[in-house]
Amino acid sequence: MGPIITHYAALTRGEARAVVGLLVLAMGWFLAGAAHRVPASGHHPSNSASDDGDVALYKSVVARVRAGEGYYDVVGSELRRRNYPVRPALNWRQPTYAWLLSRLPSPLVGNVLLGLVAFAILLVMRRWIGRSDLRGRVGIATALMIVSTASALVTNIVFMQESWAGFFIALSVCLFALDRWRTAVAAGLAALAFRELALLPCVVALALALHRRRWPEVTAWIVGLGLYGSLMTWHVAEITRRFLPGDLVRSWVVLGGGTFVVSTSSWSPLFVALPNWVVALILPFVLLGLAGWRDRGAARAALVVFGYLTVFSFVGNPFNDYWGAMYTPLLPFGFMIAPDCVRDLGVALKAKPP
């Protein structure tokens, strides 16, 4: 008998039924969400010609910063000119993307850099899977990850901070799976430099380090997050002193539920060509796989993905579907193990009671 690679292999019949019940409930919730049609952002990775909305805003900001204008003055001007909400401060993106791209000779160089991060994810992931109980599926995992990170080749993707953050989050998770915690912490903080939404996987990592009493790692996170907190304090101060009376206000708390969750999941290149109702049918099995793989690295990935799905059930406007780039690079691990999870769950359901 081979190694037990899923948690479902050890379930009792009653526990297996409970898991199936949760699976059905999740599928129903996602299908109900998929039934509600909402306006999408138009910035899916497959749409390289898209040059409107948020992409146009970020491209204009980068161009003006490259010309020598100050980032915060430029953002305030562009938000008002395009009738975007100026308040609260979280409607202003962190300046990392603008400072980086404005110093590159071409956005294509940004694609090269993002492609290098994707290549690093691929290399580290292959080593991780090769050392796990799923070492025979390195080829499948590689194919899934290549598709999942193919968006790095899309020209406009470098202007979306969520793509940079999502790639660094995936790299951090894979490095932690190999116990390369120093570089993993650095990758997590790099994600946070691009998007404050990357705070979630950083908090997950800090909590896990505390739980395992890995004090050097805890110290690294506390120092890194403390530095980030100081920079964010300065960032918010620069924003608030540029507020004007009459500025538009829009909250991110929308309670989009399953509708927004399915929409963000569709950002994955693995899902992008599928209608929402198909995504709603497949996504629960991907989550079943993430939750079921008996691997410490997979457990971290599951915590991050489930954390984002929970947050995005409450936060995010319909046109913010591209926020899915924060977690969708982690979905290949759920795809890879899902068949084993379904098999073990089926065996547990057929088990005779003691």
Render pLDDT for 246-263 as a digit per residue (tens, 0 to 9): 999 988 888 889 999 999
The per-residue pLDDT for 49 is 33
Q: What is the mean pLDDT of the chain?
A: 92
- Nearest to 34, CA basis, from 281, 324, 252: 281
- 53 burial level (CB within 10 Å; 0-12, 13-18, 19+): middle
% of the chain residues with pLDDT over 90: 84
% of the chain residues with pLDDT over 70: 94
pLDDT at 42 over 80: no
The per-residue pLDDT for 178 is 96
Q: Domain ranges in the chain?
A: 7-347
Which of 181-190, 245-254, 281-290, 297-306 is least confident? 245-254
Torsion 141-121-164-106 (CA) sign? negative
Alpha helices, DSSP H, located in the chain:
13-34, 53-66, 71-81, 96-102, 107-131, 138-148, 161-177, 181-194, 199-211, 215-240, 257-265, 276-292, 296-312, 331-350
Gap between the Cα atoms of 96 and 93, Å rounded = 9
State pLDDT tens for residues 66-98. 999 999 999 999 999 999 999 999 899 999 999
pLDDT at 113 over 60: yes
The per-residue pLDDT for 37 is 62
pLDDT at 301 over 70: yes
The per-residue pLDDT for 46 is 38
State pLDDT tens for residues 176-229. 999 999 999 999 999 999 999 999 999 999 999 999 999 999 999 999 999 999
The per-residue pLDDT for 5 is 86
The per-residue pLDDT for 41 is 46
The per-residue pLDDT for 96 is 96
Type of residue found at 62: V
Angle at 66 between CA 65 and CA 69, to 5 degrees: 35
The partner residues of 293 in beta bridges, in order of sequence, read: 6
- Nearest to 117, CA basis, from 103, 100, 132, 99: 100
For 54, list phi and psi in degrees, rounded to 5: -65, -35
pLDDT band at 144 (very low <50, low <70, confident <90, very high): very high
Give the predicted TM-score (pTM) of the model: 0.93
* N-to-C CA span, the chain: 22
The per-residue pLDDT for 83 is 92
pLDDT band at 118 (very low <50, low <70, confident <90, very high): very high
pLDDT at 1 over 70: no
The per-residue pLDDT for 310 is 97
The per-residue pLDDT for 53 is 81
Gap between the Cα atoms of 168 and 150, Å rounded = 15
The per-residue pLDDT for 108 is 95
pLDDT at 103 over 60: yes
